[in-house]
Amino acid sequence: MTRFDYLDGAKLVNQFTIQHPEKGGSGHPLISACVPQAVYVDLFDIEISHSAEWQDKVAEASNPNYKLRSVITARGKMRDRITVFSVPNGKKASFEEIAEIYIKPLAKGHVGGKRRATTSDGISFAGASTEPVPEDGLMAEEPGMLMYFDPERDQWPTGRKDPCLCLEAYVDETEFNALIQRFSMTSAPIQKGLLRVLVELFEHEVDAFLAEPWHRKDYGMLLRGSNLDVANARARVETVQVVFQPVVAYVPHHKIDEDGDYVPPTPYEPVNAATVRKIEKRLKEIGMIVTIGLFAIFAILVLP
């Protein structure tokens, strides 16, 4: 059960602040504030796709008509839980996984939005504060988005039958391309991936005040729109990390013989005795054939 399952008596102060009917120790109404939250996601099914995209407009005729673009895609399991809800109806669905993750490049100057907000910016609103979050939130103009999709309502072709969360986030183009280049320098298999993403989510005042860094968090994502069927939250990639498994070559081991002398390592795999006998037998056969051939040549050339 989460704080957002039942919201009878709750009131939306604005799109980023909820006032609950319960009161705190000082007598003020408890609130839930929608502020930047650090969400940790363990990545799996990581893939990198490359494409060439037609440009409708080019600055000069000499500029290329196509632009090369790479995208990192994955799925992810969150260490916390996100509940999609409405006021006053409460919970619509809860998620611990992000079904589709897209990380894309974007020209420098867009990622970070208007305020370059961090988790520290939300502290004064998420604790025992009576101040509502600003009307435009704390991550205004951030291009990335965490989105809720319901196949029964949305026309977006996710190819899924059940509601899910999808993340579309961006990294500055120069750093993104450098990261892709580093990925391409190894053929080692991927061991694991980690994503730290900053997302504008609701958190109850009491949970925010008592939470420790190692606690599992319960966040909320508000359904908006006339039919209360649209839910999204601005998001920004803070860290993306991919760990590759090391490729270890065979290292031969040295040994000590019966006399106690050091025997250097053999730079190849040892051959078993049966294989050695087969090789010796074959070499003897080849030796006999060569000997007979040489004798025949000698007899023809020398003997009358």
Task: Report d(CA 235, CA 233) in Å as an integer.
Answer: 6
Task: Report d(CA 86, CA 225) in Å as an integer.
Answer: 10
Task: Report d(CA 48, CA 298) in Å as an integer.
Answer: 68
Two tokens, residue 158: 């996710």
What count of other Cβ atoms lies within 10 Å of the Cβ of residue 93? 17
Q: CB-hemisphere CA count at 13 Å for 75?
A: 7
Task: Report d(CA 63, CA 76) in Å as an integer.
Answer: 38
Q: Can you name the residues that pair with 196 across neighbouring β-strands?
A: 40, 239
Give the position of tokens 């500029």. 63
- Alpha-carbon distances of 103 from 17, 121, 144, 166, 247, rounded to whole Å: 29, 24, 9, 11, 27
Q: Cβ distance 37 to 78 under 8 Å? A: no
Q: Which residues contact 93 (CB under 8 A, 6 or more apart)?
A: 83, 84, 148, 163
Which residue intervals of the chain are DSSP H helices? 123-126, 173-184, 205-210, 273-302
Closest CA to 219 of 233, 229, 240, 236: 233
How many residues does this entry show for the chain? 304
Task: Report d(CA 61, CA 142) in Å as an integer.
Answer: 32
Which pLDDT belongs to residue 249? 64
Two tokens, residue 101: 């993750």
Q: Cβ distance 260 to 202 under 8 Å? A: no
User: Structural domain boundaries of the chain?
Assistant: 11-244, 255-302
Query: Residue 111: what are its φ and ψ, rounded to 5°?
Result: -65, 130
Q: What is the pTM of this model?
A: 0.76
pLDDT tens digits, the chain, 304 residues: what are they? 788 999 999 999 999 999 998 887 777 888 899 999 999 999 999 999 999 988 888 888 888 888 888 999 999 999 999 999 999 899 999 999 999 999 999 999 999 999 899 988 888 776 555 578 888 899 999 999 999 998 877 766 667 788 999 999 999 999 999 999 988 888 888 889 999 999 999 999 888 888 777 788 999 999 987 777 789 999 999 999 999 887 766 565 666 667 767 666 665 566 677 887 888 888 888 888 888 877 777 777 766 6
